[in-house]
Amino acid sequence: MAGEVKTKLSKNLLRMKFMQRGLDSQTKKLLEEEEKKIISEEHWYLDLPDLKEKESFIIEERSFMPCEDLLYGRMSFKGFNPEVEKLMIQMNSKCKEEEIEVDDKMEADVSDEEMARRYETLVGTIGKKFLRKRDQRVLQDEDEDGDSNARPSKKAKKKFLKPQD
């Protein structure tokens, strides 16, 4: 008897979270879709045919700026207001990109070659700072082998001088 009659659970009960944990993902999706369908049937909607959106290649524009390529409205001449003059160059060159390249070249205070020379010597000098003491000694020897012979006495390795009693 118990096997034949299954107690029927209500829909609301089945919709509750604890009943759905055991379900597959697919059945969950099906249930969600059914719920959505129920809601959408009750909602009102416009029963119009789909309008085909024409691909319009005409853009309507009410401003004159893009049509005539007007310049920037603030101007200053003969150095009356240096900030405005800088602005003029900046804003008007946004339209014409040639001037931007010229400005970049002119703005470098140090030329590229000088930078390269500086770096060459800089790497060496900073690098010495991080050498171990033995290597520093070796470096010094190398440097001063090329120098005059007046130095060798100073360059002799300093031995421990025993204090004389």
Partner 1 sequence: MAAGSGAPAESCVGQVVLPGDVLLLPAHPEDDGERLRLGAGAAPRGRLLCGPGLRRCPTGLLVTKCGLLRHRPAGGGAAGAAGGAYWVDSQQKRYVPVKGDHVIGIVTAKAGDVFKLDVGGSEQASLSYLAFEGATKRNRPNVQVGDLIYGQFLVANKDMEPEMVCIDSSGRSSGMGLIGQDGFLFKVSLGLIRKLLAPKCEIIQELSQLYPFELVLGMNGRIWVKAKTVQQTLIIVNILEACEYMTAEQRKQALAKLSGN
Pair 155, 139: CB distance under 8 Å: no
Closest to partner 1 by CB, 27 vs 90, is: 90
CB under 8 Å to 89, separation ≥6 — which residues?
A: 99, 103
Stretch 85-104: interaction string toward partner 1, x if CB under 8 A: --x--xx---xxx-------
Rounded-to-integer distance, Cα 79 and Cα 72, Å: 17
Task: Determine if 53 is a binding residue for partner 1 (CB under 8 A).
Answer: no
Residues 6+ apart with CB under 8 A from 74: 84, 87, 88
Nearer to partner 1 by C-beta: 86 or 151? 86
Provide the minimum distance between the beta carbon of 70 and partner 1 in the complex, in angstroms, as a whole number: 4
Q: Report if residue 77 touches partner 1, rule: CB under 8 A.
A: yes
Q: Which residues bind partner 1 (CB under 8 A)?
A: 56-81, 84, 87, 90-91, 95-97
